[in-house]
């Protein structure tokens, strides 16, 4: 018989209660799914992606002038992608220009073309590009 059977028992329960750590390899994609997947069906639809992109645009637009400078976009878009998204070539992205870029990233990420980006599609290169454009 242990000296303190109750505390021994509680100690054992404590050890068993330690949560099993989930691998973090897809943590970024998972975060995009949890924040943007508003209907919680495990996939991102275009409307959800557009809404998340709009929210992110507002967060990134520090001066609230309705435009994102290259500095505000940071590494979310490559130089070439920023230039491609900047339809009127004024060196900034309006929300429409940003959403249009997000829509092409969405199409690129939706490898099977079913109009939804699933968790496995989010993990692809195109999926990670999309993730950068919609999660803070």
Residues that bind Ca ion (CB under 5 A): 37, 39, 41, 86, 88, 90, 110, 112, 114, 116
The DSSP symbol for 76 reads G
Tokens 């939804």 belong to residue: 116
Judged by beta carbon, residue 3 or residue 125, the one nearer Ca ion is 125
CB of 27 to Ca ion, least distance (A): 19
CA distance 54 to 43: 18
Q: Which is nearer to Ca ion, 61 or 86 (CB)?
A: 86
Residue of 136, 68, 132 whose CA lies nearest to 105: 132
Least separation, in Å, of the C-beta of 59 and Ca ion?
A: 19
Q: Residue 65 or residue 112: which is nearer to Ca ion going by CB? A: 112
């Amino acid at each position: 018989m242990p000296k303190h059977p109750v505390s021994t028992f509680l100690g054992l329960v404590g050890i068993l209660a330690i949560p099993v750590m989930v691998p973090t390899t897809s943590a970024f994609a998972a975060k995009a799914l949890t924040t943007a997947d508003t209907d919680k069906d495990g996939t991102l639809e275009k409307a959800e992606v557009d809404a998340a992109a709009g929210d992110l645009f507002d967060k990134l637009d520090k001066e609230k002038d309705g435009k994102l400078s290259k500095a505000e976009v940071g590494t979310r878009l490559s130089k070439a992608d920023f230039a491609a998204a900047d339809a009127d070539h004024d060196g900034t992205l309006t929300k429409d220009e940003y959403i249009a870029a997000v829509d092409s990233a969405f199409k690129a990420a939706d490898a099977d073309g079913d109009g939804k980006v699933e968790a496995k599609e989010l993990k692809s290169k195109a999926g990670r590009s999309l993730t950068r454009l919609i999660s803070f």
